[in-house]
Chain A
């Protein structure tokens, strides 16, 4: 136990040294570290609870996704049946998560089933390998045909929706000029957005909370809105509210002239005449063509610019707009014009997002937490170190050297993993200092026992290490299991605690098995002690 080959000793010291050195980048300003080679840049990341910032968890409305898909199937099925001149009674309806219709003539049934089955697409597109299709068409008897979406197809659609949403969210967040935001998928239907340094997430939430579905549609001037409100709505029109007060309504045709997807650019500017904030936009070629045609046909009629089902403005077309450019004015403030431009540039979300969790820490509290955490860490470590010196004297010095190396290694490993340090994480490190000396206590107490049992100093030390190390391993593994579970279930600050606790256990076992033994071995070699001052 006390004999180390030269190479082994060298290996241990080198390992410890390299791990400790990994902590070095944390002591230099970030700007300076950026100029270093890439492998040397890894450093600790401060959690949002320490550096301040905002963390939002957004949920995609999976019901909306499903409903939309059912509605789409309904439309397609209706069209297919009409095109094939198959009679159906009672329309094509969405009922209980399925699309249903009743085929009029029994002779048409087989034809209808095969036509409807052609609507199904392989899941995951052409590249999909599962061979499953995204639509089940069943004959429910009595001419009733039921179209259902298999579970796999729903999940696949949700996955795609999340992926698209993440892209859009990324664009929107980046447009806000934030520094190093983190945008991650969480589970099957959530997105985590973390923005360091953001103090008030109100605007962020507003921007992420909008689907930003933009549409240009014609207003139907034949019926005044008041009259329409009482129920006499012309076919293929709907009543939409205005986006800004005073409350008013518009009768708008359902047909979409141009959609937001045809926009290539949007900027907030000032109107040259009125000096009001406006949003100017540019269509792509096909959008420009469609818009030119529509405006040519409807000079003198107002059209509505609609965002998420609300009319932003409804200007009258004075002349055909053929250049593919235009501007939206709608009693904007500078910020709301800016926000709209951001939304239009980033594009529409495939489904609405809801904020389900928000955690924001201001910079003041973060700084306080860092200071308090540091102070607690210093005081805790010093108390433990003093106690070890008083209890074990020379061997206390050995233990303290081992603990110092241990803590340095924790910081090294945390930096190497670019782990996030949180306030509970700091608590984890302090706790590790308290528990790290336990391995030394176990060894030393065992040595004392062996000495009492009448062994010679060297033999007692040897036996002490041999017997204590097995115990150290066993006892630390149990704590490590707890830390691992905590890491799995925890988020944010709690996960930070699990990380430092887990890493602390690894370094503790390492130092107990190598550094402490090495130090004591050297001392034994050098002193050849007749008694052990323990």
Chain B
């Protein structure tokens, strides 16, 4: 039996035991966030907004100075993953062999085990045909000494299109989500969500710039997923704000926002914890092929997304004038929690 199987089986047994214990109701249930949490998020905006602005500027500066590490999807060129058929790969020798082919810069990188090498050939001048010739040359030079695990060649026209499509997709997604929020809520909410969105994307791009992970189609997928989940979170809080606005017509906005964020806080944290668990499993066991994909998502969904929804998306509504023109109707009884506090 492999260690993996042992781990899986013992985890399975743990689940069985926990299930039985849970059904019997022996354990107390867990409160991740104490019931009477009352953090003043709205006031905290005086700290969180400058921090966010600073981080955003930093991210943008990084983007312009450090740049993104464009993958072949957007830059064109050739990417090969090869594994030496016997022993470990001799990078130095491969570098000499491939350097003499006249293909310009050939990047070699250890990838996973000692036998695995990731090989990048920059886009060749001379159109689509030139890329194909480059691959043939590399294959000819390395011959049968390696196993070709992955070969990707993207010609100049396709790479241009992919980049265009990727950017268009990102814009389209933001636009579509905005329209939806505008219909479902009021325009201020849509605008608040958009600012939060842009904040997410900017910070994630900053992260990609620092970590220099390949920026390719899967990064766009990661960005869109981050958008989706960050909004998911934002919408949950907005939903509550809207409900509170209807119910407590006279409660001052800062207090109302605080109540809304605090009462959904437990959910926000628990959900992010479960998503983190899932992403952690992907990051640790999912293999190299999706490593950068999950790393970016981990950063975006777990770190940025949660922070944005709580500290940016909700407090910013104050500046956007939500709830300023509420009718002077009588309030219902104040929330039970408040009286306890």
Contacts and interface: CB of A to CB of B under 8 A. Distances in A.
Interface stretch (B38-46, B283-291, B322-330): B283-291
A385 B18 CA distance: 10
Interface stretch (A271-279, A317-325, A375-383): A375-383
Interface string B227-244: 111011101100110010
Interface residues of B, number: 94
A431 B270 contact: no
Given A356-B155, A394-B22, A202 B278 contact: no
Given A467-B243, A474-B184, A485 B176 contact: yes
A268 interface: no
A365 interface: yes
A475 B22 contact: no
B218 interface: yes
Contacts of A467: 243
A324 B241 CA distance: 85
Interface in B190-236: 217-218, 220-221, 224-225, 227-229, 231-233, 235-236
A423 interface: yes
A383 to B, nearest CB: 4
B167 to A, nearest CB: 9
Contact of B139 (A202, A388, A471): A202
A481 B172 CA distance: 10
A435 B243 contact: no
Given A396-B22, A485-B169, A424 B224 contact: no
B195 to A, nearest CB: 15
Contacts of B155: 354-357
Interface stretch (A134-142, A280-288, A306-314, A492-500): A492-500
A358 B153 contact: yes
A300 B238 CA distance: 91
Interface in A383-414: 383-394, 396-397, 400
A112 B192 CA distance: 68
A467 B231 CA distance: 19
A88 B232 CA distance: 72
Interface stretch (B28-36, B92-100, B101-109): B28-36
- 3 tightest CB-CB pairs across the interface, nearest first? A434-B278, A380-B281, A482-B228
A437 interface: yes
Interface stretch (A162-170, A240-248, A366-374): A366-374
B277 A434 contact: yes
Interface stretch (B47-55, B127-135, B250-258, B312-320): B127-135
Interface of A: 49, 57, 59, 199-200, 202, 205, 354-362, 364-365, 368-369, 372-373, 375-394, 396-397, 400, 423-424, 426-427, 430-431, 433-435, 437-438, 441-442, 445, 448-449, 452-454, 467, 470-471, 474-486, 488-491, 493-494, 497-498, 501, 533-534
B286 A376 contact: yes
Interface of B: 4, 7-8, 11-12, 14-15, 18-19, 21-23, 25, 27, 29-30, 32, 35, 81, 83, 127-129, 132, 135-136, 139, 147-155, 157-158, 165-166, 168-169, 172-173, 176-177, 180-181, 184, 217-218, 220-221, 224-225, 227-229, 231-233, 235-236, 239-240, 243, 263-264, 266-267, 270-271, 273-282, 284-287, 289-290, 293-294, 297, 335-337
Given A369-B289, A394-B23, A485-B172, A386 B132 contact: no
Contact of B30 (A375, A390, A438, A485): A390
B150 A360 contact: yes
A365 B336 CA distance: 58
A427 B22 contact: no
A454 B337 CA distance: 10
A378 B277 CA distance: 12
A477 B148 contact: no
Nearest to B179: A481
A358 B180 contact: no
A441 B267 contact: yes
Nearest to B4: A375
B151 A359 contact: yes
B148 A360 contact: yes
Nearest to B27: A393
A391 B274 CA distance: 11
A393 B180 contact: no
B278 A378 contact: no
B83 A364 contact: yes
Q: Is the interface of B mostly helix, strand, loop or mixed?
A: helix
A206 to B, nearest CB: 10
Q: Which residue, A200, A397, A489, has most C-beta atoms of chain B within 10 A?
A: A489
Given A358-B152, A394-B22, A364 B278 contact: no
B293 to A, nearest CB: 6
B275 A435 contact: yes
Contacts of B225: 431, 479, 482, 486, 501
Given A364-B83, A424-B290, A435-B278, 13 more contacts: A357-B155, A365-B150, A376-B284, A396-B22, A397-B19, A427-B294, A434-B278, A445-B267, A474-B239, A478-B232, A479-B225, A494-B218, A501-B228
Nearest to B217: A494
Nearest to B335: A453
B281 A383 contact: yes
A193 to B, nearest CB: 14
B150 A380 contact: no
B22 A389 contact: yes
B274 A481 contact: no
The DSSP consensus for interface residues of chain A is helix
Contacts of A434: 274-279
Nearest to A474: B235
Interface centre among B155, B221, B284, B297 (most CB of A within 10 A): B221
A289 to B, nearest CB: 39
Contacts of A400: 19
Contacts of B280: 380, 383
A478 B231 contact: yes
B228 A205 contact: no
Contacts of A360: 148, 150-152
A497 B158 CA distance: 21
Given A490-B217, A501-B225, A534-B29, A431 B8 contact: no
B109 to A, nearest CB: 16
B239 A59 contact: no
Nearest to B297: A431
A534 to B, nearest CB: 6
A391 to B, nearest CB: 5
B274 A427 contact: no
Nearest to B285: A376
A431 B29 contact: no
A387 B276 CA distance: 11
Contact of B220 (A355, A357, A377, A489): A489
A357 B154 contact: yes
Contact of A393 (B7, B8, B25, B297): B25
A471 B235 contact: yes
Given A431-B279, A452-B336, A481 B176 contact: yes
Contacts of B275: 431, 434-435, 438
Given A354-B129, A368-B287, A478-B180, A383 B277 contact: yes
B290 A427 contact: yes
Contacts of B285: 372, 375-376, 379
Contact of B221 (A361, A364, A490): A490
B274 A387 contact: yes
Contacts of A433: 278
B116 to A, nearest CB: 10
Contacts of B294: 427
A377 B129 CA distance: 40
B23 A449 contact: no
B292 to A, nearest CB: 11
